[in-house]
Amino acid sequence: MRSKSFEGFMKGVFLASATMAIIAIILICVFIFSSGVPFIAEYGLFDFLFGNKWKPSNKPPSYGILPMILGSIYVTIGAVVIGVPIGILTAAFMAKFCNKKLYRFLKPAVNLMSGIPSIVYGFFALTMIVPIIRERVGGTGMSILTASILLGIMILPTIIGLSEASIRAVPESYYEGSIALGASHERTVMSVLLPAARSGILSSVILGIGRAIGETMAVILVAGNQARIPTDITKGVRTMTTNIVIEMAYAGEEHRSALIATAVVLFVFILIINGLFLIVKRRSAN
Amino acid sequence: MSRIIRFLVRFSALLTFGVLFFIVGYILFRGVAHLNPSIFEFEYTSDNVSMFPSILTTLMLVALTLLVATPIGVFAGFYLMEYAKKGNKLVEIVRIAEETLSGIPSIVFGLFGMLFFVIRLGFSYSLLAGTFTAAIMVLPLIMRSTEEALLSVDDSLREASFALGAGKLRTIFRVVLPVAMPGILSGVILAIGRVVGETAALMFTLGTATQLPDGLLSSGRTLALHMYMLSTEGLHVNESYATGVVLLVIILLINGLSTFLSNKLTKGR
Amino acid sequence: MDKIVIRNLDLFYGNFQALKNVNMNIRENEITAFIGPSGCGKSTLLKTLNRMNDLVEGCRITGDVLLDNVDIYGGNFDVNMLRKRVGMVFQKPNPFPMSIYDNIAYGPRTHGIKKKSRLDEIVEGSLKAAAIWEEVKDDLKKNALRISGGQQQRICIARALAVEPEVLLMDEPTSALDPISTAKIEDLVQDLKKDYTIVMVTHNMQQATRVSDKTAFFLTGEVIEFGNTDDIFSVPKDKRTEDYITGRFG
């Protein structure tokens, strides 16, 4: 290990490895966009994004993905409504309301939650939540509501993870200052610590949204998968992600391009969400 | 007011962890009953839908993916933490790429893998295509764990090594790496968990063949894929539960191991 | 004989000038102490002598540092060889998380010594030179982190000696230790000067008087006064030196 040239060589190997991440991203962008964009260009961006008929087997086929875009948005909003408040409050509990012994148990539990495969979550929802919704609320049980509940559960660890770390990172002096003014522990946490941690909490929500929008397998099992604009939350819906998986297997040439084009739209959504996340992170670092 | 807040946070935590335990317990409870030997038969037939080939396929895929992704991820971490100067433009770009990669949904990875590895490079549905796709997916994870592990190594150890006349390479491999190892391993193990649980990305790259792959270029299915196929076909609900149990147990073990290792890192030696 | 000659040395961290026009001759087989208030450049100068400052971003020097009359900042100078010849002991003991044996053997192994018997010799010799052989000889496999701070520091000294340096740089080596360990190390250092040239940064003036032959007084990056320790402490030429050693400022 002593020669200078070996040192230089290894440095080159390390550098090459570091650039792999960049190469991977570039490749992904190139292939996804180059396979999907021509279709969008030919079909028409407006018709594609805002067309509300997705009927690939018609003659001529129509490929409007508005129902899927709305589907993704609706289930994501649902997931956020369910998952974010519970997640933030749980994070507050873990950071400021539970004792050390319990915490040592809960922290790995959160990690476990984020490690459970989506298929297991989906299967659970299929066998447990769908029948309940069917009986108590109506419809087939496979609906926006079900998917939202499922996704809400699935993004909990994402929200909790980052939010809890942010709450913990708030300087002790903020806490002490508030307590010294006579505010209770609970009020201090809510009115002082949470707002102080807001950029970390916001980051976690953005990450959670990204996770919800990108989720596929769990959603497929419980969302109903009808490709039309849903009219109420007990109706089934298809998301951009599930649309791709469901039809890819038997898609013909043009149909497949349309599906890849859907992935392009999804990708752009994700890039925007990621960009937001990075901006919030940069802003909070200053 | 305080009481309401206290109630709300306690209730939320209860909800969160209650749901977790319920899911784990439910799957284990319903599935253990169906863990009979036939499901571990070596051959898969449409009758006994054995999960054994899937288990083996999963192991193969995990091993191959780690083989590809770990050196790249760890070496990348070395460069970012031990060689690059602060504020280096390349480092910034790599970090952005790393963050972006970790936010991409698995279906997009799956499509990319299909377009690039399966079609363009001609691997068709295969272990090879699945491996490379999964490797790209877990790369940011391993990179980040390595970076954090290296960060936690006290600089004074590096200084001591340099002051004795050792070069960077020796310092990294003999002094820094042994100390950072638990953290790096913890990341690798989490990567295993990610690969084991993955479905969408593998569906379009590894494929879903029911038999054991007999070579790098042949297809197979992992446990998670197997569970998905069973769930959508709807014929073998019991076996789905059983597969779920096996998956959960694997994930539990993996998470336990990872937690244990990262505790070792933070506790010091 | 002058082991190290420093000529017109300026050092900048970015735009901040940490050392101003330093000129000094360090004699062989003597102990030279650097004293002065915090942040005045003592450790910085020390680190120029084995080019550890190279590791700091944005650090720039002008001027010469000569070791045996050769400029160590010259183009072809092998930095790793320099650090073999000029060893360093740090303020806080920093043994590697390895066995005591491996700690000491690390340096020699780095510089190509592989034979076990030779390594055994070196380990024993260094531990003896650091006056800690008797205490650890029965348990060389023990992890170096499990011994006391004072012992760890002597292990670090032994580790530095194991590469057979000519110069030993010590950056406040006893400031993190208890009085008994401090005394042991001070005795050790006085013994070592027979075979090594020693440069020591210290915050403790009594230590400088006890241990060193020459002393340099630093203030905001400049060497205010440099001379025999006895002279500096009894008849300082500069008023600032006098103020410092009489404790008017610290």
One DSSP character per residue, B213-235 reads P-STTS----HHHHHHHHHHH-S
Tokens of B237: 């609900």
Number of structural domains found in chain C: 1
Global pTM reads 0.87
For position A274, what pLDDT does the model report?
A: 86
Q: What distance in Å separates residue C6's CA from the closest CA in chain B?
A: 20
State pLDDT tens for residues C27-54.
Answer: 999 999 999 998 888 999 999 999 999 8
Scan for tokens 């593998």, then name that residue. Answer: B202
Distance CA B186, CA B218 (A): 31
Provide the total of helices (H) and of strands (E) in chain B, helices listed first: 11, 0
Q: How far is CA A192 from CA A172, A174, A195, B88, C180, in A?
A: 11, 7, 6, 37, 49
Q: Determine how β-strand A62-63 pairs with β-strand A54-55.
A: antiparallel
CA atoms within 13 A on the CB side of C40: 20
Which of B:206-225 have CB within 8 Å of A? Answer: 224
Q: What is the DSSP string of chain C?
A: -EEEEEEEEEEEETTEEEEEEEEEEEETT-EEEEE-STTSSHHHHHHHTTTGGGGSTTEEEEEEEEETTEETTSTT--HHHHHHHEEEE-SS----SSBHHHHHHHHHHHTT---HHHHHHHHHHHHHHTT-HHHHTT-TTSBGGGS-HHHHHHHHHHHHHTT--SEEEEESTTTTS-HHHHHHHHHHHHHHTTTSEEEEE-S-HHHHHHH-SEEEEEETTEEEEEEEHHHHHHS-SSHHHHHHHTTS--
Mean pLDDT score across all residues of chain B: 88
User: What are the structural domains, with CATH classification, of chain B?
Assistant: 33-267 (1.10.3720.10)
Residue A129 is which amino acid? I
Distance CA B170, CA C110 (A): 8
Distance from the first to the final alpha carbon of chain B: 46
For position B97, what pLDDT does the model report?
A: 92
Bond prior to A60 in cis (omega within 30° of 0): yes
Residues in a beta bridge with C226:
C216
Distance from the first to the final alpha carbon of chain A: 42
Interface touch B165/C94, C-beta < 8 Å: no
| B43 SS3 class | coil
Tokens of B224: 């998670």
Residue of A69, A98, A64, A123 whose CA lies nearest to A239? A69
Tokens of C67: 């070791």
Tokens of C233: 């402490």
Q: How many residue pairs bridge chain B and chain C with CB atoms within 8 Å of each other?
A: 64
Length of chain C: 250
Question: Which residue in C has a C-alpha nearest to residue B174's C-alpha?
Answer: C106
Does the beta carbon of B255 lie under 8 angstroms from any beta carbon of chain A?
Answer: yes
| Residue C185 falls inside a structural domain | yes
**For testing contact with chain B, the best of C49, C77, C80 (most B CBs within 10 A):** C80
Orientation of helix A144-169 relative to helix B2-32, angle to 10°: 120
Residue C56 maps to which CATH number?
A: 3.40.50.300
The answer to whether the beta carbons of residues B175 and B108 sit under 8 Å apart is no
Residue B136 is which amino acid? I
Tokens of B6: 């206290």
The answer to whether the beta carbons of residues B204 and B118 sit under 8 Å apart is yes
Distance CA A34, CA A57 (A): 24
Residue of A155, A144, A122, A100 whose CA lies nearest to A245? A122
Q: What is the DSSP string of chain A?
A: ---HHHHHHHHHHHHHHHHHHHHHHHHHHHHHHHHHHHHHHHH-HHHHHH---EETTSSS-EE--HHHHHHHHHHHHHHHHHHHHHHHHHHHIIIIIS-HHHHHHHHHHHHHHHHS-HHHHHHHIIIIIHHHHHHHT-TTS-SHHHHHHHHHHHHHHHHHHHHHHHHHHS-HHHHHHHHHTT--HHHHIIIIIHHHTHHHHHHHHHHHHHHHHH--HHHHHHSB---S--SSTTS-B--HHHHHHHHHTT--HHHHHHHHHHHHHHHHHHHHHHHHHHHHHHHHH-
The answer to whether the beta carbons of residues C162 and C107 sit under 8 Å apart is yes
Residues A125, A130, A134, CA angle at the centre, nearest 5°?
Answer: 165
In B, which residues are within 8 Å of A260 by CB distance? 111, 115
pLDDT exceeds 90 at position A176: no
Q: Which of A86, A111, A119 sits opposite B199 (nearest CB)?
A: A119
Distance CA A62, CA B92 (A): 43
For position B269, what pLDDT does the model report?
A: 43
The answer to whether the beta carbons of residues B217 and B61 sit under 8 Å apart is no
Q: What is the DSSP string of B80-148?
A: IIIISPTT-HHHHHHHHHHHHHHHS-HHHHHHHHIIIIIIIS---SSHHHHHHHHHHHHHHHHHHHHHH
| Residue C25 falls inside a structural domain | yes
For position B265, what pLDDT does the model report?
A: 67
Does the beta carbon of C110 lie under 8 angstroms from any beta carbon of chain B?
Answer: yes
Scan for tokens 């900042």, then name that residue. Answer: C73
Distance CA B156, CA C93 (A): 9
For position A235, what pLDDT does the model report?
A: 82
Mean pLDDT of C163-181: 92
Domains of chain A, by residue range, sit at: 4-43, 67-285
Does the beta carbon of C92 lie under 8 angstroms from any beta carbon of chain B?
Answer: yes
Question: Which residue in B has a C-alpha nearest to residue C83's C-alpha?
Answer: B165
ipTM for the predicted complex comes to 0.88
Q: List the domain range (segments joined by +) for residue C32.
A: 2-245
Residue B46 DSSP class: T
In this prediction, the residues of chain B whose per-residue pLDDT falls under 50 are 269
| Residue C250 falls inside a structural domain | no
For position B62, what pLDDT does the model report?
A: 95
Interface touch C92/B175, C-beta < 8 Å: no
In A, which residues are within 8 Å of B75 by CB distance? 13-14, 16-18
The answer to whether the beta carbons of residues A56 and A65 sit under 8 Å apart is no
Mean pLDDT score across all residues of chain C: 91
Mean pLDDT of C123-134: 92
Distance CA C139, CA C132 (A): 12
State pLDDT tens for residues A195-248.
Answer: 888 888 998 999 899 999 999 988 988 888 887 887 777 788 889 999 998 888
Distance CA B11, CA B3 (A): 12
Does the beta carbon of C156 lie under 8 angstroms from any beta carbon of chain B?
Answer: yes
In C, which residues are within 8 Å of B161 by CB distance? 96, 106
In A, which residues are within 8 Å of B24 by CB distance? 116
Q: Which of A1, A35, A221 sits opposite B115 (nearest CB)?
A: A35
Q: What distance in Å separates residue C225's CA from the closest CA in chain B?
A: 28
Mean pLDDT score across all residues of chain A: 88
Tokens of B132: 């490379």
Does the beta carbon of C149 lie under 8 angstroms from any beta carbon of chain B?
Answer: no
State pLDDT tens for residues A245-271.
Answer: 888 888 888 888 899 999 999 999 998
CATH of domain A67-285: 1.10.3720.10
Residue of B43, B49, B64, B62 whose CA lies nearest to B211? B43
pLDDT exceeds 60 at position A1: no
Does the beta carbon of B96 lie under 8 angstroms from any beta carbon of chain A?
Answer: yes
In B, which residues are within 8 Å of C107 by CB distance? 164-166
In B, which residues are within 8 Å of C173 by CB distance? none
| Residue C144 falls inside a structural domain | yes
Q: What distance in Å separates residue B43's CA from the closest CA in chain A?
A: 23
Does the beta carbon of B117 lie under 8 angstroms from any beta carbon of chain A?
Answer: no
